[in-house]
Amino acid sequence: MSYKNLENFQSIFNRSDFNYISNHKKIKEIEEIILYCITNPNGKESSYVQLLEIFLKNLNSFYKSITGDNIPDMKKGYSIVFEELQRSIELFSEDELKRRSISRGYCKKFNKTCLYGLSKLLDGIRVAFDPDVVTSVNIEEAQYIRYILDDKEGLGKLFLFNKIGRHSFINKIDTLNMQELAVTVRLLIRPSGNQIRTINGWRDVGLGYTPVRLLCERRAFRKDKVYFLYRLNEHSAYKSQLETSPNKVAFLAA
């Protein structure tokens, strides 16, 4: 199920609350409580409730930190997981006879719904990093940079980023603010036709008055290379680099 890819974002968010709710072992623990413990009174109810409450605490902490209400899928996923875990906690307070009467199918449905909620949470997280959305949520610049470079969920799946030279992508990316980072991502994944030209072997992205410009090399059936990143006020350095074609420029991927 797609919720398992939540773990891909652990290194991007670098938050203990997110690490907890995306940990496969913790999720499996919750599954087993829902599937096997609600209908089986054994005197360990307080420990099961405590584990559910810890999961909820970390879920709430992460969701509030990112202002998830601004993203429909994230809000939906959070609400589903929250409601299902709260319902499970409430069932542990029922008397023994009622708990034993709960059908296996009912618990399976509970569990399936909860995992679906985690999948929707993942969908919402992916939307949160879209350049048209990221400035409306509480994602930090360092987190967005890690997303850009990430090769599982981020732009590292599509591009190789150069780390040689003063204006290399890697040496410049952590100097940008969030607005500039969002523009950079948009230029790489969704440039408009009037923002691209090919000159002297370069794929020149970000024409006009965009706050950043990128010099790239397009490669068929392989990851494109992103060599250099310039701000608008660095036009002379950018123009000088255009005079040397990419096949004469050193490139070392990050």
Q: Are 200 and 242 in contact (CB under 8 A)?
A: yes
Q: Which residues contact 55 (CB under 8 A, 6 or more apart)?
A: 20, 21, 26, 30, 85
Q: What is the pLDDT of residue 68?
A: 85
Q: Which residues contact 104 (CB under 8 A, 6 or more apart)?
A: 39
CA distance 26 to 7: 11
Give the model's confidence band at 1: pLDDT under 50 very low, under 70 low, under 90 confident, else very high. Answer: low
Q: What is the pLDDT of residue 153?
A: 97
Q: What is the mean pLDDT of residues 148-174?
A: 97
pTM, entire model = 0.94
Q: What is the pLDDT of residue 192?
A: 86
Q: What is the mean pLDDT of residues 233-253?
A: 94
DSSP 15-62: -HHHHHHH-HHHHHHHHHIIIIITTS--S-HHHHHHHHHHHHHHHHHH
Asked whether residue 207 carries a pLDDT value surpassing 90, the answer given is no
What pLDDT, in 10s, does the model give residues 118-154? 999 999 999 999 999 999 999 999 999 999 999 999 9
Mean pLDDT of the chain: 95
Give the model's confidence band at 104: pLDDT under 50 very low, under 70 low, under 90 confident, else very high. Answer: confident
Q: What is the pLDDT of residue 193?
A: 84
Q: What is the mean pLDDT of residues 5-12?
A: 98
Q: Are 205 and 139 in contact (CB under 8 A)?
A: no
Asked whether residue 171 carries a pLDDT value surpassing 90, the answer given is yes
